[in-house]
Structure 1
Amino acid sequence: MRVHSGRTVRDLRRENRTAVLQRLYFDGPLSRFSLGPVTGLSSGSVSNVVAELVADGLVEEAGSVDSAGGRPRTLLRIRQGSAYMIGVDVGETRVRVELFDMALTELARVEKPLAANGPRREDRYDVAVVVAHVRDSVEEVVRRAGIEPAQLLGVGVGVPGIVARTPEDGAVVHGQTIGWDAVPLERLLRESVPLPQEVPYFIDNGAKTLGQAEMWFGAGRGASSAVVVLFGSGVGACVVGDDLRSARAVEWGHLKVQVRGRRCRCGAQGCLEAYAGAEALLERWREAGGCPPVDADEETALTALLAAAHPSAPGAEADTTALAVLDETAEYLGAGFAGLINLFQPERILVGGWAGLQLGTRFLDSVRDYATLCALSYPASHASIELGTLGPDAVTVGAAILPLADFFAQGGRREPAEPEETTPAWKTSLRERAAQ
């Protein structure tokens, strides 16, 4: 049966379930009486939807509250153990896999290092090694958490690079900076990871998964529009509005900031990432005469750079070379932020990633100053630049949200897609006509 808007009754029921689930998830526990105003549904519709969700095991009672002059009202909440999600972060030095329940409580975590196996950066990201790490880690977190694989809503994966999709292979990753050229990651994972076929994969850019996490649970809550910046070895960004389904990753790190400038890891010259990513920042410090710790990883080396520029010991003098490199990096980032402000006019720019959070508020003050100088005054005056609040592991949380968001969009049902409707007669006629 169809309604006048073109949506079926089934569509309306799914939308009603989605509305109730989301409000209980973000604002619960709530009573049936409270659900009406926040969802726009009638009391009868709320009662019917809640009854379905309780019967499905997704919602449970959570005590009661007094009402004004009437019987106590029963509170409802999402049942924490009703389903589970896995989040995967294919990061710059490791593959991290975490398993969460519906309340995003971490039940198990496994990390596998991506150690360089040769002189080239691409060797660290050998596709077979990454797939094997994900396979072994997924098996381990499922075993540790003691859940049945069929209870999973899905596996979300955050990756570096551009993610396209094909009918044959699903998600295909184009990661130029890591040497991935059209890697059919979804197909490879599905062939390798021992999960039921009905458990879906959701693979997307790591900056986008970070953006999803910050908008749902972090510093982006309440913003109508934001750009979330992932600042690690390189830099990336996600542009997102209050409708999270329209979020999109942008290759911000490969915006040109200097013609015929420094060589970027993507192979081009003058990219922002060649100046402002942690890898490039540390290289520029070394070239300027700085002394990063020998054989240290990037996080340790960046800590040393900050300590040199801002020594904690009383009376210690700051390393002027380190200070100059940080200030120049802030200027490049400020110019990059100005580009984001002018192009997208966001309400907020949020900085996350291990390097962004490690550099912290003191560094961000300089970035704000340079961004204000470079951006158009009106959009700059309406955009705040802040640190993210979910910590350096937020990509994994955001990856786990991908199957959760899809589950909500389906009204909390895990059903196969509906069969396609019969092709209208006019389409058949015109196709036959065109073929003559």
Structure 2
Amino acid sequence: MHRKLTVRDLRAGNRARVLRALYFDQPRSRQELAGITGLSQASVSNVVGELINDGVVVEAGQVDSDGGRPRVLLRVNPTFAAVVGVDVGETHVLVEVFDLTLRRLAMATFPMDPGAYPADEVARQVLVGLETCLAEAGVDDVLGVGVGLPGLVEQGVVYTQTVGWHGVPFERMLRAGTDLPLYLDNGANTLGQAESWFGAGRGTDDVVVALIGSGVGASVIAGGVPYRGVSGGAGEWGHTTVALDGRACRCGGAGCLEAYIGAAGVVERYRALEDGVPEEQEAALRALVGSDTPAAREVLAETARFAGLGIGNLINLFNPSLVVLGGWAGLLLGERLLDAIRAEAATHALRRSFEQVSITLCELGPESVALGAATLPVADLLAAGGVKRVPSRIG
């Protein structure tokens, strides 16, 4: 039985429609918002008045109209509240503070040893970064803290087989050091949301955003909606099998795609063939991409083959109009290998599906997991029509 909508429900829905339209396409006049949302000008004026009174929307100058009075432009108020995005990667913890329009105000990075990944230490680094960045940014009103993590994230509990986390209560661990609203998700999903909102996937309803870092994952967006699976575990692209009885994977399996295109696997292969490879993982991958030795060419050619195979599989499974390759390692590799990856994907994807897809690089850079994590509390605010979750004030 469907619940009957109340006047309060309709007003909240109208606020959400106006605020979302303005957030993604600003500045706009009231008249333009009426055209975008399909609401009457009277309804838009009422909603805008409420949003201005609440401080979430501000006037942003005027524009001449055709023969009439100048139109007042509106925009989302950047200082309404800050948001925090955290990227818990396997080689670092990155914490960033943004204003509401996602302009960066402060950031801090903490290197992590991929071979030693204790959850309590990772949580401590997040909390230290949170305190440091909020103090630097000088903000005391925060919508929430979004955290992008490797592995499956289920109601604040994390399952990351590759680093030995199984049922780690990461949200509870963070809660011991902050009472700010927390939003935890898989890092590939936060990257996918960032690219869908602001990057290569903007305006595209069916897109797969592939993340290649130390590990490998994917965010699948179908019909404009992220596909998450029964418990948020969809998109573990790196643990699809591409070689029976193949290389050992960090998850304990064999032949996983991650063992062939993840930074850890690629660097391990390079070290087996080349002397003098830097110890640090990112430095080693940069050396590989910048080298033209026979060993480097062999490793890069193999990496392109398996990346193309994996992307071909994504195309066959999801029939997207766009595949976006991102992650810090994906961007490094993609700068040199994108054409080879496209060519290999064409040999594995069905012809018609490949004709309909574009394969491109992430536009937002290697820090987009943290940016995407910051969109999680923003999305909550937009859906609520500008009503904050509480508490939001520090202290």
In the alignment, residue 222 of structure 2 is paired with which amino acid? G
Q: Distance in 1 between matches of 2:147 and 2:21?
A: 26
- C-alpha contact 2:158 2:167 (8 A) present in aligned 1: yes
- C-alpha contact 2:325 2:334 (8 A) present in aligned 1: no
Greater Rg over alpha carbons, structure: 1
Q: CA deviation at 1:183?
A: 0.6
- Gap change, CA 1:388 and 1:80, over 3 Å in 2: same
Q: Which residue of 1 aligns with 2:267?
A: 282
Measured against aligned partners, the alpha-carbon deviations of 1:122-163 in whole angstroms (never above 9, x if no partner) come to x2x101101111111111111111111xx2111000000001
Q: Distance in 2 between matches of 1:43 and 1:307?
A: 57
Q: CA deviation at 1:242?
A: 5.0
Structure 1: gaps spanning 5 or more residues? 166-170, 310-318, 418-436
Partner SS state of residue 192, structure 1: coil
* Counterpart mapping for 1:160-199 below 5 A: 160-165=150-155, 171-193=156-178, 195=179, 199=180
- C-alpha contact 2:289 2:336 (8 A) present in aligned 1: no
Q: 1:17 aligns with which of 15, 27, 31?
A: 15
Q: CA deviation at 1:306?
A: 1.8
In the alignment, residue 157 of structure 2 is paired with which amino acid? V
Q: 1:326 aligns with which of 300, 303, 318?
A: 300
Q: Distance in 2 between matches of 1:29 and 1:308?
A: 46
Q: 1:300 aligns with which of 269, 283, 291?
A: 283
Measured against aligned partners, the alpha-carbon deviations of 1:339-379 in whole angstroms (never above 9, x if no partner) come to 10000001100011111111234301111111100111111
Q: 1:360 aligns with which of 316, 329, 334?
A: 334
Structure 2: gaps spanning 5 or more residues? none
Q: Which residue of 1 aligns with 2:202?
A: 221
In the alignment, residue 164 of structure 2 is paired with which amino acid? G
Alignment pair present for 1:67 and 2:68: no
Alignment pair present for 1:130 and 2:122: yes
- C-alpha contact 2:181 2:389 (8 A) present in aligned 1: no
Q: Distance in 2 between matches of 1:285 and 1:88?
A: 30
Q: Distance in 2 between matches of 1:304 and 1:88?
A: 27
TM-score (norm 2): 0.94
Measured against aligned partners, the alpha-carbon deviations of 1:221-263 in whole angstroms (never above 9, x if no partner) come to 1112100011111211110135345566411000001111110
Q: Which residue of 1 aligns with 2:316?
A: 342
> Which has the bigger relative contact order, CA under 8 A and spacing at least 6?
2
Partner SS state of residue 395, structure 1: helix
- C-alpha contact 1:131 1:192 (8 A) present in aligned 2: no
In the alignment, residue 113 of structure 2 is paired with which amino acid? A
In the alignment, residue 51 of structure 1 is paired with which amino acid? G
Q: 2:181 aligns with which of 189, 195, 200?
A: 200
- C-alpha contact 2:204 2:224 (8 A) present in aligned 1: no
Q: CA deviation at 1:416?
A: 6.6
Q: CA deviation at 1:192?
A: 2.3
Q: Distance in 1 between matches of 2:226 and 2:384?
A: 13
Q: Which residue of 1 aligns with 2:107?
A: 109
Partner SS state of residue 306, structure 2: helix
Q: Distance in 2 between matches of 1:384 and 1:415?
A: 38
Alignment pair present for 1:153 and 2:134: no
Q: Distance in 2 between matches of 1:416 and 1:329?
A: 47
Q: Which residue of 2 aligns with 1:261?
A: 246
Q: Distance in 2 between matches of 1:105 and 1:291?
A: 43
Partner SS state of residue 130, structure 1: helix
Q: CA deviation at 1:66?
A: 1.0
Q: Distance in 1 between matches of 2:213 and 2:88?
A: 13
Q: How many residues align?
A: 387
Q: CA deviation at 1:93?
A: 1.1
Q: CA deviation at 1:14?
A: 1.4
- C-alpha contact 1:208 1:237 (8 A) present in aligned 2: yes
- C-alpha contact 2:21 2:36 (8 A) present in aligned 1: yes
In the alignment, residue 205 of structure 2 is paired with which amino acid? S
Partner SS state of residue 63, structure 1: strand
Partner SS state of residue 290, structure 2: helix
In the alignment, residue 14 of structure 1 is paired with which amino acid? A
Partner SS state of residue 28, structure 1: coil
- C-alpha contact 1:229 1:349 (8 A) present in aligned 2: yes
Partner SS state of residue 250, structure 1: coil
Q: Which residue of 1 aligns with 2:50?
A: 52
Q: Which residue of 2 aligns with 1:424?
A: none
Q: CA deviation at 1:11?
A: 2.0
Task: State the identity as a percent.
Answer: 50
- Gap change, CA 1:211 and 1:87, over 3 Å in 2: same
In the alignment, residue 97 of structure 2 is paired with which amino acid? L
In the alignment, residue 139 of structure 2 is paired with which amino acid? I
In the alignment, residue 142 of structure 1 is paired with which amino acid? L
Q: How well do the aligned residues superpose, as a CA RMSD in angstroms?
A: 1.8
Q: Which residue of 2 aligns with 1:83?
A: 81
TM-score (norm 1): 0.86
Q: Distance in 2 between matches of 1:292 and 1:258?
A: 29
Q: Distance in 1 between matches of 2:276 and 2:83?
A: 39
Partner SS state of residue 259, structure 1: coil
Q: Which moved more, 1:5-14 or 1:239-248?
A: 239-248
Q: Distance in 1 between matches of 2:106 and 2:343?
A: 41
Q: Distance in 2 between matches of 1:393 and 1:381?
A: 31
Q: Which residue of 2 aligns with 1:92?
A: 90
